[in-house]
């Protein structure tokens, strides 16, 4: 079992900010050092799996924001939206004035009024409700003045996590409950939250979770304005806030259940994905999985170190236990979340006798604009890591299995598109076999294109956005043989 929960607890203790959220984001150096550890896309390696993969509540918000026609605001919401736009477009002498005007309007739109919520005192006007079931809202006077309100909201989030009342539920448990039995808040949840940032009349809606680090995604950015299409714009904003309000209700229910639950959730569970099918309630459904570890991107081995390195923070590849068809036992499976995946190509090779790819159990569309791919876990050796001197069985398997796999794909006018050592797995049994893995890049011959972010260091002999051709696979097999057989 990975030791991430211990590392997470230690990280939490270091996250309290020494400066206000505004001070923490005023310069590039201060942003990098911010206690939240910026993982939102800047710099380019600071990103990770979508927050929607870890929280059904946040996943449904992302889905709702993409299907706003399902919402129709009532007259009261329409009035509040009109007031919000009218005041957001005004100029104020100071941020305090803007906040004083916009806060009650936002409370009304989000259904936060009249419940007697107390507020956590935070610096520089960040508005943070006591429960994470309410949004973190940062209001700035104008864009570019006082720093990025989205980043300030992230810093406020990290400050909230660092508070004792979040690390333990003791202060929030009803008096009739035995406080001595309280379990740590952090061990019960990845603390999903919605971040709302307003700078001038620009509204940014984001979400964040806390697993091994804080991860955040921007879901929507829109101008609060009337313009020539005032009625349409106001209706759109009203629908946006209805979707956010629905998410607030779900989050409030989640945290309310955490406060009253007497059954501690396994500490590691909050670190792993909890995906939602797209669309929600899809007939395909999602296999019942018990995630238990991340997988090293380079070696394919389980990650057991206390701290995950930057390379492995970025990807979404895990090991999980899946129940067998008869339900009597479980089997370990490899799970990856990919933006694109060619399940047809994978199954074509997996169903070959003998198999030329790991068995594919399922490939399901999930909210987060990704596919959840569940396949057989084979602890073989990536060809990149095969020991020296190269055994004759490896040479033979390469010359036999790789051309056959490419032949099967090419017969269906499919191009593998990423043929290199890292995507070939060597299995020593049965005299040695080679399996193709990673079907993210498979495309149609003469129609699909290579990625706009193709890595030139991969030495595939092609350019970004170049049309895919079968001949490229053949040429890359030749390059692979030349490289490998010189070892």
User: Which of the four pLDDT bands, split at 50, 70 and 90, describes residue 88?
Assistant: very high
Pick the CATH number of 382-487 from 3.40.710.10, 1.10.10.10, 3.40.50.620, 1.10.510.10: 1.10.510.10
The angle subtended at Cα 124 by Cα 123 and Cα 125, nearest 5°, is: 95
Helix (H, G, I), strand (E, B) or coil at 10: helix
- Contact, 282 vs 253, CB < 8 A? no
CA 304/CA 317 separation, integer angstroms:
14
Segment 336-377, tens digit of pLDDT: 999 999 999 999 999 999 999 999 999 999 999 999 999 999
Contact of 205 with 240, CB cutoff 8 Å: yes
Give the separation between CA 199 and CA 148, rounded to whole angstroms: 8
Among 138-147, 188-197, 393-402, which stretch is predicted with the lowest mean pLDDT?
A: 138-147
Between 221 and 149, the more confident residue is 221
d(CA 433, CA 400): 9
For the chain, give me the number of helices (H) and strands (E)? Answer: 13, 15
Half-sphere exposure of residue 227: CA atoms within 13 angstroms, side-chain side: 9
- DSSP assignments along 12-65, one per residue: HHT---SS-HHHHTSSHHHHHT-TT---SSSSTT---S-GGGT-HHHHHHHHHH
* Residue 180 token pair: 């001595």
The pLDDT score that the predictor gives to residue 181 is: 35
Question: 279-330 pLDDT, tens per residue?
Answer: 998 877 788 899 988 998 877 788 866 667 778 888 899 999 998 877 788 9
Determine the pLDDT at residue 296.
86
Determine how β-strand 202-210 pairs with β-strand 289-294. unpaired
**CA quadruple 160, 161, 163, 165: dihedral sign:** positive
Q: Shortest CA distance to 401 belongs to which of 424, 384, 421?
A: 424
> Model confidence over 368-394: pLDDT tens digits?
999 999 999 998 888 877 766 778 888
Distance CA 226, CA 310 (A): 44
CATH 3.30.200 fits 277-379, yes or no: yes
> Does residue 420 have a pLDDT over 60?
yes
Helix axes 230-260, 56-65, angle to 10 degrees: 170
pLDDT in tens, 445-467: 999 999 999 988 888 999 999 99
Give the residue extent of every domain in the chain: 4-271, 277-379, 382-487
Maximum mean pLDDT: which of 11-20, 121-130, 265-274, 287-296: 287-296
Provide the pLDDT confidence category of residue 10 given band limits of 50, 70 and 90.
Answer: low
Query: In this structure, what are the phi and psi dihedrals at residue 199, rounded to the nearest 5 degrees?
Result: -125, 110
Share of the chain above pLDDT 90, in %: 51
- Which residues on neighbouring strands pair with residue 444, listed in sequence order? 414
Percent of the chain beyond pLDDT 70? 79
Quote the crossing angle between the two packed helices 392-411 and 343-350, to the nearest 10°.
130
Inter-CA distances, 380 with 326, 426, 433, Å: 27, 6, 10
Residue 231: Cβ within 10 Å count = 9
pLDDT of residue 179: 32
Q: What is the pLDDT of residue 266?
A: 52
Lowest mean pLDDT among 34-43, 145-154, 228-237, 406-415: 34-43
Query: How far from 297 is each of 54, 212, 300, CA to CA, in Å?
Result: 20, 17, 6
Comparing 152-166, 202-216, 395-409, which segment has the lowest mean pLDDT? 152-166
Check residue 9 and give its pLDDT. Answer: 66
Tracing tokens 């990650």 back to the chain, one arrives at 303
With a cut of 60, say whether residue 267 has pLDDT above it: no
Question: Model confidence over 161-219: pLDDT tens digits?
Answer: 776 555 554 333 333 223 333 345 677 888 899 999 999 999 999 999 998 888 999 99
Average pLDDT across the chain, whole number: 84
What average pLDDT does this structure show over 132-137? Answer: 79
Q: Using an 8 Å Cβ cutoff, are 285 and 277 in contact?
A: yes
Higher pLDDT, 110 or 24: 110
Token pair for 444: 């149609």
Q: Please compute the mean of the pLDDT values over residues 428-453 and round it to a whole number.
A: 95
Using alpha carbons, list the distances in angstroms from residue 196 to 106, 152, 190.
10, 10, 19
- Residue 21 has a pLDDT of 61
**Residue 366 burial by Cβ neighbours in a 10 Å radius (0-12, 13-18, 19+):** buried
Question: How much is the pLDDT for 50?
Answer: 95
Q: Are 294 and 303 in contact (CB under 8 A)?
A: yes
CA 459, distance to chain mean position in Å, is: 29
pLDDT of 123 over the 70 cut:
no
> Is a pLDDT exceeding 50 seen at residue 132?
yes
The sheet with strand 424-427 has its strands ordered as: 381-382, 424-427, 433-436
Tell me how far apart the alpha carbons of residues 98 and 235 are, in angstroms, rounded to a whole number. 23
467 DSSP 8-state letter: B
Q: What span, in angstroms and rounded, lies between the C-alpha atoms of 476 and 470?
A: 10
pTM of the model: 0.89
Q: Binning pLDDT at 50, 70 and 90, where does residue 247 land?
A: very high
Asked if 343 and 358 count as a contact pair (C-beta separation under 8 A), the reply is no
């Amino acid at each position: 079992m990975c030791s991430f929960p211990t590392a997470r607890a230690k990280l939490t203790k270091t996250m309290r900010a020494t400066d206000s959220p505004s001070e923490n984001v005023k310069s590039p150096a201060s942003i990098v050092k911010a206690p939240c550890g910026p993982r939102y896309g800047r710099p380019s390696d600071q990103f990770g799996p979508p927050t929607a993969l870890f929280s059904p509540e946040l996943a449904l918000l992302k889905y709702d924001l993409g299907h706003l026609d399902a919402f129709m605001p009532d007259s009261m919401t329409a009035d509040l939206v009109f007031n919000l736009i009218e005041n957001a477009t005004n100029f104020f002498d100071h941020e305090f004035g803007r906040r004083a005007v916009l806060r009650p309007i936002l409370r009304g739109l989000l259904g936060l009024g009249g419940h007697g919520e107390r507020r956590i005192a935070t610096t520089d006007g960040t508005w943070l409700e006591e429960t994470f079931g309410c949004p973190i809202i940062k209001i700035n006077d104008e864009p570019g003045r006082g720093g990025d309100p989205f980043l300030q909201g992230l810093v406020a989030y990290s400050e909230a996590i660092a508070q004792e009342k979040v690390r333990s539920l003791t202060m929030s448990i009803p008096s009739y409950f035995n406080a001595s039995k309280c379990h740590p808040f952090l061990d019960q949840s990845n603390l999903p939250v919605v971040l709302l940032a307003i700078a001038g009349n620009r509204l940014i809606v984001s979400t964040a979770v806390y697993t091994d680090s804080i991860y955040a995604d921007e879901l929507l950015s829109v101008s609060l304005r009337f313009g020539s299409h005032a009625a349409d714009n106001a209706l759109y904003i009203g629908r946006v806030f209805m979707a956010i309000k629905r998410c607030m209700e779900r989050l409030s229910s989640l945290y309310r259940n955490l406060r009253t639950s007497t059954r501690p959730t396994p500490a590691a569970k909050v670190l792993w994905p909890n995906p939602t099918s797209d669309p929600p309630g899809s007939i395909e459904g999602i296999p019942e999985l018990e995630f238990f570890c991340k997988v090293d991107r380079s070696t394919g081995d389980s990650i057991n170190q206390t701290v995950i390195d930057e390379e492995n923070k970025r990807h979404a590849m895990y090991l999980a236990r899946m129940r067998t068809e008869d339900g009597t036992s479980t089997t370990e499976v490899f799970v990856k979340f990919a933006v694109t995946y060619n399940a047809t190509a994978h199954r074509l090779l997996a169903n070959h006798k003998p198999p030329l790819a790991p068995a594919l159990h399922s490939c399901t569309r999930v909210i987060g604009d990704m596919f959840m791919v569940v396949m057989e876990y084979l602890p073989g050796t990536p060809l990149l890591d095969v020991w020296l001197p190269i055994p004759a069985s490896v040479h033979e398997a390469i010359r036999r299995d790789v051309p056959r796999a490419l032949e099967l794909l090419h017969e269906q006018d499919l191009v593998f598109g990423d043929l290199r050592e890292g995507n070939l797995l060597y299995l020593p049994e049965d005299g040695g076999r080679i399996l193709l893995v990673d079907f993210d890049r498979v495309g149609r011959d003469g129609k699909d294109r290579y990625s706009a972010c193709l890595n030139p260091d991969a030495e595939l002999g092609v350019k970004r956005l170049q049309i895919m051709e079968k001949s490229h696979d053949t040429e890359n097999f030749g390059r692979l043989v030349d490289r490998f057989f010189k070892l």
